[in-house]
Structure 1
C-alpha cells in the first residue's frame, strides 16, 4: 500500500511559473557535481548561496584579505579609500551600465592580497578587530557586529574555525533595523516560555511549532529523529492547510543525510537554503586569482564550517527539488556530541532567508532543546540505573554469581533491554566452567566465542554493535547468532549480553533500497517519496552510551562479588563499610555541632567587643576615666577570649585533619616543669587562689626526651581549668618521674582511689571508670613499659564533679564541674580537655581525672619521656633548656630610612602603624612609618626608599607576602644590597606557614594580633643608623 506525497500549491500564475522554472533549471547541474556528494568535503564547497550576502576572509592579525566572494564589490562601503563605490545592477552610472557579472568578479579580485583597513571605513575596521580580539579571548568561534551606512543597516558575522583566529571570515548582509528591537526580543521571550512550561519529551515538538509560527514563512515543519542505524523518522509534523501530503511516521534511509553532512551539523548547528533556484556565488582567493589569469576556473577551498551562507552540495539541491521544496532550514539537536535529530522546515511557494536575529534565536533553541533532551536522556538513564540497583538489592552475598544470575537474571535483562545474558564462571577446582544462560537460548554463543576475548583487558566493557564487526573478530553467525554483544570479565567471571534481530513493519518515505548510483558512478537523488511499506523488517539495536552506563552498574556488582568471594573477605568488608558509613555520619554530626557551637561562642565575646566600642563612641565625653578603662579592659578581655577560641579551633583542626607530627628533643626536666606552671601561677594569684607546685626528684639534674610544646600545652590547659573552677581556693601541681608504666599507674591509683569517681583514657574511644579495670588493662601492655614516664598531677579544691558527670567530661563542647549546680555558668567552649586527650594519645600517654563533689578534682597526665644516651647529653646541651623556635635569635636591628608596613587591609595598616609609632616614641626614636597597600606596592616602595625594616602581611590578593619577600630578596642579591630585616605577620599560625615564610627570607614572624610585648621587644632592638 502506498500514498502519493505530492504538494497541492495554491493555483496562481506566479507559483505555476516558479514550478516550470524549477523543472527547466534542473538541467543546469552537471554530472560531475552530482557524483561528488559523499566524496566531497562539504565545508570546502567554494561557493556561497547567491543573494544571501557577501563574505570576506582575512588573515589575522595582519588583516590581509585572502579570499572573498566574487560579488563582494557590490557592498557600497567595500571600496578603496578615496574612490566612489560600485553600484549594484540597475544603479550603475552611464559609464558602468554595461558592467556584467564577469566584470564585477574582476573588480572583486582587486581586493585580494590587499589589507582590509584600506578597503573599508577605518572606524569599522577598528571595531571589527576589537571584536576579533574579544572572540579570541573568549575562545569563541563566532561573534557579531552591526554597522550603519547611508540609512542602511548591515550585520557582520565574524567567525573562525581555528582557535587562534588565524583566518577570520566576515559574513555581510543587510538587515532590517526595526527587527533588532522587536521581533528578536519577542522571539527570545517565546523561547523562555518554552523552557518554562515544557520540561518533558515534548520540548522538541514545542520548539518546532514555535519556530514554525514565529517565522511564518515555511509551509512545513518536522521533528526528525535519528535511529541507531542513522536512518531518520519524522516523529512530529506541523504544516499549512494547503499542504495535503504528510511525512509523519515515515522513515528515511541513512543515505539521505550522508555522514559528512551529519558531522557538519554537529559542528554548525543551523543550515538554511533560501532558494534552490538561485545561482551560487563563487569564492575567489589569491590562488584562484592567479588561476584566472591563466584562464583556469579553480575556485577557492576556504573552510566554510562556520559560514551560514555556505552553498550546499548539488545532490542535495536536486533532492529538495524532487520533494518540491523551494527553501529550507534545518536546526541540529546535538546530544552528548552526537546528532540526536533535526528540526526541519520546508517552504514550497516563495524563497525565504531567515534574518540574522531569527537565526540567532533558532540557534538558541538549538542549544536549549539539546540541553533539555540530554537532561531527559540522563533522567531516563538514572531511572534505569535505580531500577537495576533495586533489582541488584536481591543479589545475595551468600550465593555464587551463577546462583544470583539464575535468580534475578530475567529482571536484569528487562532493565538492560537485552535478549540474552550468559555468565561463565571458572572454578579453579573444576576442569569445566559453569555456564549460566538466561533469556533467549537460541542466540546463545558457542564455547569457542569465549576464547576470542582472551586478550581483552579485565574490568573493561567491550561493546560490538554490528554483525560485520563480529565477523571481523572471527565470530561467525553460527558461533554467536546475536547481532550485537557486550562482553565483560573480572577474575574468574565472564559475562556476555546479547541482542538479537527484531522484526517490525516500517513505513518508508520512498524505497530505501533504491540505488543511489547510476551506471558510471553518477548520483541519482531519489525522485519518489511515496509511502513504501516494508513488512517484518529485521533490525539490530545498537548499544548506546546510556545502555553501557546501566550495564556498568551490573558489572560493578559482579566485580565486587567476584573479588569478595575470591578473597574470602566478604563479611569483613561489609562490616568495615558499615563502620565507615556510621563513622562518617558521626563525623558529619560532630562537625555540624562544632561549627554551631563555635558560631555561638565567637559571637558572644565579639558582641562584648562591639558593645564596648559602641558605648565608647557614643558616650566617651561624658564618661569618667575609670569607666573608660573598665570598658577598655572588658573589650580586651573579650578579644583575648576570642583569640583563645580561635586557638582551640586551630588545635582541633590540627588534631583531626593534619598528620600528628611529634618533635621529640632533649630538655631539662625541671626547666620544662617550671615553664608549664610559671605563666599561670600569676593568674591564679591575681584571683586570690593559693598556688603551689613541686617537682620530684627535687635536686637531680635530669634530661628527658619529649615534645615540650605539647606537654606544656596539656599541663597549662589543665591548670587553667582548675583556676576557672576553684574561686578563692587552692591548686597544687606536682611533677614526678616513674621508672615504668606500671609504677606510673601505681602512683596514680594511690591518689585516685580516695575520690568518689574516676575516668581514665589511654587510647582513642576507650574510657575506663575504675582503678582496678585500669590496672587490669595496663597489665596486658608491653610497649613502652620499661621507659621512664613523667607524671603530672593538678589538684584543686573546687566544686568537684559527680561520677556521672565524669563520663561526659572528655567529650567536646562539654563543661562539668559545677557540683550539680548550673547556676553559675563557666565561660569556655568545652574543647580544652578534648584537645588535651588528643595530645596525650599522640604522645602515647594517658589522661585521668578523679573527683568528689564538694571536695575537688585531681587530673593526672603521664607520658613516656625516655632518657637519652648519657654520652650524648653534653654535646646536645643547647637543646636541654629550650625547644626549637621559628624565628632567629634576638639581635640588634639597624634602622635606616622609614619602616614599611604592608597589608591589604586598611584597618590593619592603621592599627599597626599607630602601635609602632607609640613604641618608637617611648624609645625616642625618630623614624617614619610608611604604609603599602598590597605586595606589589610594598616592593615598589622598597625599591624607591630602600627601608631596612619591613612588616609584611602574609595573605594578600595578587602579590602576597611570600612573593613580596622573595622579590625583595632577589632585588637585594641582584644589586649587592645589605638585606633588610623582614618581619612577616599573619593570622595563619601553622607550622607549614612558618616554614614557607622562613624559606622565602623572612627574619621573624609575628602573629595577628601581635602578642603582648612583641612590639616592645622588637623595637628595643632597633638602632637608628645615621644616613649622613
Structure 2
C-alpha cells in the first residue's frame, strides 16, 4: 500500500494496487535505471541478501550485485521482447564478504525501469526440466483428449491441481457485470465445495481485473508474511508486471477470512478481455516455482484458445441463422405492396432474430405488435423515455433491467424486464421495440456479497472485506437475460435493411409527386398565358421559389442517402482492419503504421459523414422546447465527458444559471461541443480552466459566456470559425471536422438565439450565447 492512500467503502475500487510500495518477502527486488545500469530502488530485505546497508545499495552498479553473464543479458536485452525468453535465469548474487548466493532471476521492463525479481533458486537441472516437460506433456494430452467445454473445464482444474500442489483449484467465470461463478473445481476431499456458487463483482474490483489482463499470473505464497517495503519510498514504482508484487491488505484480509494461506490466480483472456480466472487456494504456505507457474499459464492460454474457438463456432452459427431470418424478412418486404406488413407476416423471425418474447414497431404512424407486449397505453410513455436514452452516437438502446433503471415501469417486469429499441428515423417516430420477460434467478452466493466498516476500540474505523463464506441464497427479480452483442448486431442489421426500404419507397412517392407537380405547373402555365404580364412575372417568381424548395429537399435527402451508403464501406474498412489486427499475424512497423492510419482515416471520415448528416437534419428537426435547468444539463454533459476532464486535469467553474427555454438534447450538444473545444484547444504547458458565467439576464433572454485559457485565436476570424468545415488549425495538431461550431450556431439560431465569439491568440477565447428563458 502507498502511504497516502486510505481505503474506504467509496474508493476501494481506486486502490492503487499496481504501486503497493512493497513486495512479498520470499524474494528480493532490484530496480535498475536503464540509462546507467545502476540500482535506483531495492526491497528492504536485499540487505540480508548482499550484506550492504540500504543506503549503500542505491546507486550501485548492477555489475556489483549480479554475475557478469546476467548483467550482460540485461544490458543488451532490456528493451527487447526477447527479455522474456531469459526468464527464469539462475544468477549468482554477490555478497559484500565476497561469497556468492544462487537465485532465480525474473526480469521485466515496466516502461521506465527494469525490475529484477530474485526468487529462491528452483534448482533447475536437466532432470528437473525433464519433469517439467513431462508435466506439460501430460497436461496437454489430457486436454486434447476432451472435446466438451464443461469436461475441458474440469480437466483443466484437475491438471493444475495435480502439478501445482494446491489444495483447491477453481475455474471462475465472469458474467456481463463481472460477478463471478465457479464453473469447475478440484479440491481435497475434506474441503467444502464452492462449485456453482456466485461471488460479487466487488470481490475482484475493476483495477484488479485490469491488472489481471496486464499480468496474467499472480502468486501469493504466504498471507501472514510481513511485506518487504521498497527503499527509498519515493518515487512509487509500477509493479504491475513484477512476480513479487505485494497484495492489497483488503485482499489479504479476504483470504484470511476464507482461511486461505496461499493463492495463485491465472487469467483466462478472450479477445483482449478478462473472461475468467483459474483460482488456486492453499491452506498452508506454498511457494510455486517459476517453471510450474509457466505451465499453469500455458494451460490457461490453451483454455483461452479452446473457448475462443467455441465462441467463434457459436457466432458463425448464430450469424448464419440471423442472415437466414433477415433474408426471409427482406423477401417478404419485396413481395408485400405495403412493406410494413412484412414484419407482421414474419413475426416469428422478427422475435427469433434477437431471442425476444415480444415486439412493437411503428413504421407508418400506426403500432403493430407480435408476441407478449405491454398494454398500448404504456407503450407511448415507454417509447418516449427510451427515445430520450438514444443518442446520436448510439444506434440502439438496450437494458435487461428496465424496472430498476426506471421504477415507473417496474410493474412491466413479467413482460418487459428487458427492452431493446432501434430508431428508424431522425425524430424517433419510426422504431422497433423488442421485449424480454423477467427471469427470476435463484443465485447461490459464496457468502453475502458486501463489504463492511469495522470500528476499533479507539473509535477509528477501517474497511473490511466480507468475512462470511457460508452459502447465501438470493432471488433476483426484475431482470431478464442480458442482450448479447450478436443480438444487438442483428437488430442493427434489420434497422439498416428497413431504412434502405424506407428510402426506396420515399423515392417512389417523391417521383410521383414530382410528376404531379409537373402536370400542375404545366396547366398553371397554360392558364397564366391568358393573364397580364404582371401575373406572368409573379408566376415566374413562384416557380423559382418552388424549384429552390424542391432542390433543398433533394439536397437533404441526398445527404441522408449518401451518409448511409458511405458509412457501410467505412464500417467494412474498420471491421476488416480490426480483424487484421486481431488475427495475430506479424506485420512490419511500416505496414502496421499503414493499417493504423487507414483505420484512423476511416474513423475520421465516418465522423465527418455523421456530422454532415446531423447538420443537414437540423433544418428539418422539430425542436421540443421546454423549461430546463441549465446547471443540471451542464452537469450531465460534464459527467459524460468526465474521462476527458480528468485526463486534462481541467478546472471547470459554473455560475448558477437557472431555467432556460430549450430543446434539452440539442442544447446539451451545444454545451458539450463548447466544453470539448475548450479542453481540446489547450496549450500543452497549462491545465485548462473553463468558466461558465451569466453576463446578462432579462425577462426574455439570458446571455452566457464560456471562457477558457486555451490557445485562443486571432479575433479577425471570430465570425469565420462558425462556417462549415472551417479549421484554423491543421488536423495533425488538433482533431476535428470543422463542423462543430457550425452545428452549434444552427442549433442556437433554431432556439431564436445567437452565438458569437471573441479570442486572443495564446490567451484564450470566450464564446457568448444568448438564449430565451421563456
TM-score, length basis structure 2: 0.56
What is the CA distance between 1:544 and its match in structure 2? Answer: 3.5
What is the CA distance between 1:159 and its match in structure 2? Answer: 1.3
Partner of 1:72: 46
Partner of 1:477: 409
Partner of 1:50: 25
- 1:156 aligns to 2:105 (yes or no): yes
| From 122, 127, 145, the counterpart of 2:68 | 122
- Structure 2 CA distance for partners of 1:381 and 1:249, relative to 1, 3 Å: same
Instruction: After superposition, give the CA deviation of every residue in 1:332-372 in whole Å (9 maximum; x if it has no partner).
Output: 11223322211111111x31121111111111122221222
Q: Does structure 2 conserve the Cα–Cα contact (< 8 Å) formed by 1:283 and 1:300?
A: no
- 1:543 aligns to 2:543 (yes or no): no
SS in 2 for 1:542: coil
When the two structures are aligned, how many residues end up with a matched partner?
481
Q: Does structure 1 conserve the Cα–Cα contact (< 8 Å) formed by 2:360 and 2:373?
A: no
For residues 37 and 355 of structure 1, what CA distance do their matches in structure 2 show? Answer: 31
What is the CA distance between 1:64 and its match in structure 2? Answer: 3.0
For residues 37 and 451 of structure 1, what CA distance do their matches in structure 2 show? Answer: 35
What is the CA distance between 1:282 and its match in structure 2? Answer: 0.7
| From 384, 387, 391, the counterpart of 2:318 | 384
Q: Does structure 1 conserve the Cα–Cα contact (< 8 Å) formed by 2:255 and 2:261?
A: yes
| From 456, 461, 475, the counterpart of 2:392 | 456
SS in 1 for 2:57: coil
- 1:495 aligns to 2:441 (yes or no): no
| From 212, 215, 238, the counterpart of 1:303 | 238
| From 276, 298, 302, the counterpart of 1:341 | 276
- Structure 2 CA distance for partners of 1:522 and 1:185, relative to 1, 3 Å: same
- Structure 2 CA distance for partners of 1:303 and 1:239, relative to 1, 3 Å: same
- 1:147 aligns to 2:90 (yes or no): yes
| From 231, 237, 240, the counterpart of 2:188 | 240
For residues 407 and 336 of structure 1, what CA distance do their matches in structure 2 show? Answer: 39
SS in 2 for 1:275: coil
Instruction: After superposition, give the CA deviation of every residue in 1:857-885 in whole Å (9 maximum; x if it has no partner).
Output: xxxxxxxxxxxxxxxxxxxxxxxxxxxxx
What is the CA distance between 1:388 and its match in structure 2? Answer: 2.2
What is the CA distance between 1:56 and its match in structure 2? Answer: 1.2
Instruction: After superposition, give the CA deviation of every residue in 1:658-687 in whole Å (9 maximum; x if it has no partner).
Output: xxxxxxxxxxxxxxxxxxxxxxxxxxxxxx
| From 247, 251, 258, the counterpart of 2:198 | 251
For residues 367 and 344 of structure 1, what CA distance do their matches in structure 2 show? Answer: 15
How do residues 168-247 of structure 1 correspond to structure 2 at under 5 angstroms? 168-173=114-119, 174-178=121-125, 180-194=128-142, 196-202=144-150, 203-215=152-164, 217-243=165-191, 245-247=192-194
TM-score, length basis structure 1: 0.43
For residues 34 and 450 of structure 1, what CA distance do their matches in structure 2 show? Answer: 36
Instruction: After superposition, give the CA deviation of every residue in 1:437-492 in whole Å (9 maximum; x if it has no partner).
Output: 5433368563423642675369x344456659955xxx953798645543323458
For residues 504 and 415 of structure 1, what CA distance do their matches in structure 2 show? Answer: 24
What is the CA distance between 1:398 and its match in structure 2? Answer: 1.8
| From 375, 394, 402, the counterpart of 2:340 | 402
Q: Does structure 1 conserve the Cα–Cα contact (< 8 Å) formed by 2:403 and 2:411?
A: no
SS in 2 for 1:332: strand
SS in 1 for 2:440: strand
Partner of 2:470: 530
Partner of 1:59: 33
For residues 242 and 124 of structure 2, what CA distance do their matches in structure 1 show? Answer: 22
- Structure 2 CA distance for partners of 1:188 and 1:415, relative to 1, 3 Å: farther
What is the CA distance between 1:111 and its match in structure 2? Answer: 1.8
- 1:413 aligns to 2:351 (yes or no): yes
Q: Does structure 1 conserve the Cα–Cα contact (< 8 Å) formed by 2:167 and 2:281?
A: yes
- Structure 2 CA distance for partners of 1:419 and 1:230, relative to 1, 3 Å: farther
Q: Does structure 1 conserve the Cα–Cα contact (< 8 Å) formed by 2:79 and 2:109?
A: no
How do residues 455-854 of structure 1 correspond to structure 2 at under 5 angstroms? 456=392, 460-464=395-399, 477=409, 482=416, 484-491=418-425, 493-512=430-449, 514-518=450-454, 522-535=462-475, 537-567=477-507
Q: Does structure 1 conserve the Cα–Cα contact (< 8 Å) formed by 2:29 and 2:43?
A: yes
SS in 2 for 1:497: strand
Structure 1 stretches lacking a partner, 5+ long: 1-28, 76-84, 87-103, 289-298, 570-1028
- Structure 2 CA distance for partners of 1:233 and 1:30, relative to 1, 3 Å: farther
What is the CA distance between 1:328 and its match in structure 2? Answer: 1.1
Q: Does structure 2 conserve the Cα–Cα contact (< 8 Å) formed by 1:232 and 1:253?
A: yes
For residues 222 and 558 of structure 1, what CA distance do their matches in structure 2 show? Answer: 47
SS in 2 for 1:45: coil
- Structure 2 CA distance for partners of 1:255 and 1:564, relative to 1, 3 Å: same
Aligned-residue Cα RMSD (Å) equals 3.4
Q: Does structure 1 conserve the Cα–Cα contact (< 8 Å) formed by 2:344 and 2:368?
A: no
Q: Does structure 2 conserve the Cα–Cα contact (< 8 Å) formed by 1:49 and 1:281?
A: yes
Q: Does structure 1 conserve the Cα–Cα contact (< 8 Å) formed by 2:30 and 2:41?
A: yes
Instruction: After superposition, give the CA deviation of every residue in 1:132-175 in whole Å (9 maximum; x if it has no partner).
Output: 1432xx6x87852513438975332221232xxx3221111222
Structure 2 stretches lacking a partner, 5+ long: 93-98, 510-774
Partner of 2:599: none
SS in 2 for 1:43: coil
Partner of 2:361: 423
Partner of 2:291: 357
- Structure 2 CA distance for partners of 1:563 and 1:317, relative to 1, 3 Å: same
For residues 345 and 187 of structure 1, what CA distance do their matches in structure 2 show? Answer: 18
- 1:267 aligns to 2:214 (yes or no): yes
Instruction: After superposition, give the CA deviation of every residue in 1:670-719 in whole Å (9 maximum; x if it has no partner).
Output: xxxxxxxxxxxxxxxxxxxxxxxxxxxxxxxxxxxxxxxxxxxxxxxxxx
- Structure 2 CA distance for partners of 1:346 and 1:478, relative to 1, 3 Å: closer
How do residues 845-864 of structure 1 correspond to structure 2 at under 5 angstroms? none
